[in-house]
A and B are shown apart, each in its own frame.
Chain A
Amino acid sequence: MIISRRHKVLLFLSLVFLPIVAILHFHSGPAELSLGDFLNGIFNYDPDITEHNIVRELRIPRMMMAILAGAGLSIAGLLMQTLFKNPMAGPYVLGINSGASLFVAFSIMTGIPFFMSDIGIISNALIGALLFGLIISIFSSIVRSQISLLLIGIMLGSFTGALVSMLQAVSDAQELKSFTLWALGSLSRVEYDQLLTISVVFLIGLFGALLLIKPLNLLVLGQDQAKLMGMNFRMIRLLIITITAILTGLITAFCGPIAFVGLAVPNLVRMLMKTQHHGILIIASALFGALFVLICDICIRLLENQVNIPINVFTSVVGAPIVVLLILRKLK
């Protein structure tokens, strides 16, 4: 497909902006840090110096997590939107997040130490996301209407919400606290060893998505056309859902449920890029998603002294109006 000047310029700009915004993000926070602190924190780390600790233990992991979460969720949203040929689809709307939440709730509230460990929570989030992805895809082959599918996703979300409440009602205070803390969402509790796992899994998801460029492009023409062009729809659908589940589950496990990034960013990207070429869309969604979450997090820190806004609340506050604007633009 055709990569135009416009695409190249926009991709180049976002590539330039990403490090600039990342540095801004790096710079925002209550502690006043000099350039020297940054360089020393990275290259000349002394665990006894507070500034170094802040750079190394707080700022860098938080920035990395913001980038990975934004990129991962946006790619996941893009894949869902293309698979279901529905611009309003996204891991959150379709209930894939809630699948991850339910299984994490389950894993935390069993109180079994393995399930409460990082690996336990990640694997449960992945399984939950995958399971709910499969459920929604089964429904998608039964109901052809886009709205019905979204409604089913919302129903899945409410249903799991109710199940989680039931779990909360029977679990003891300690487990309840762990789950509440998780559900609040956080970009900054991540540690380096976890970041390594997250990065590896993210890269697997990203490369998986890039390998699906051709079938994704065909899916734009519709399921039937794609099948007629020789695509093995069932297999491709399974692959897309697996990749979405990996990305969504991974990020949900570490940051809690973050809404609207996966919904708003790919739509924004498609409008800016004016293409359906998924090579461009995947890369651009990753870049813009990372920018989106970084900027949201910068705003949160700027407002920190006045109000405390959890990341998932802020992305909703910004993302929901964007989505409404997109719908209005579309109707015109």
Chain B
Amino acid sequence: MSAARPPSVLSATRAVLYKELTLERRAPQTLTAMALFCASAFVIFHFALGRNEVEGALAAGVLWVTLALAALLGIGRSFVADREEGGLDGFLLAPAPRTALLVAKATTLLIFLLIIGFFASVIFSVLLLGPTPNASQWASLALLIVLADLGIALVGTLIAGIAIQTRARDLITSILALPLLIPLLIAVTKASEPLLTVGGGTLAWRWLALLGLYDLIFGLLAYALFDYLVED
């Protein structure tokens, strides 16, 4: 019998990702909670702002504040099942590369965030958004959602990895994530603003560049530092 070779990053990632998506498919907790949160938040914004329709900077603010807070729910749940059911210990016992856990968790979070991002945009345009974006504006908004969600997924996985080992898990997740996400939220709200304005506008490239830079820096940081978070 030949000695079993340790799995590659790719195969280990695929296995963990499959497990994550299967868990969510069998008992959809996180996605439903995030979706309900977004819908309720839009209703609250309607009453709190006293408006039937929003546009421009206000619309960008309402949409992205809601998405950022919904992302906190997803980040907070990211490692909970593994911690409580011993999945994390099981992974650490396996001869799989640690990077696979980071990639799989970040991809899972990214998939959740993308689903919620597109769901919330549609709900938002029905419930609150005044102007009707055209096809190219929807495409630009989709690009923004992808870039922003990538950043949130990377930072979120890093934070979830830190917070899961602390006593005050939920508190640490929120107080760490919000300040870290501020540059991303500045870029994405400023970039969304012309897309949600009457008459419309186009995407400013400098905000896309900033989002790309943010994703790159935190992607590299997460890759370099994640091993230290799952050492024991």
Whether both chains belong to one complex is answered with no
Residue ranges of A at the interface with B (Cβ–Cβ < 8 Å): none
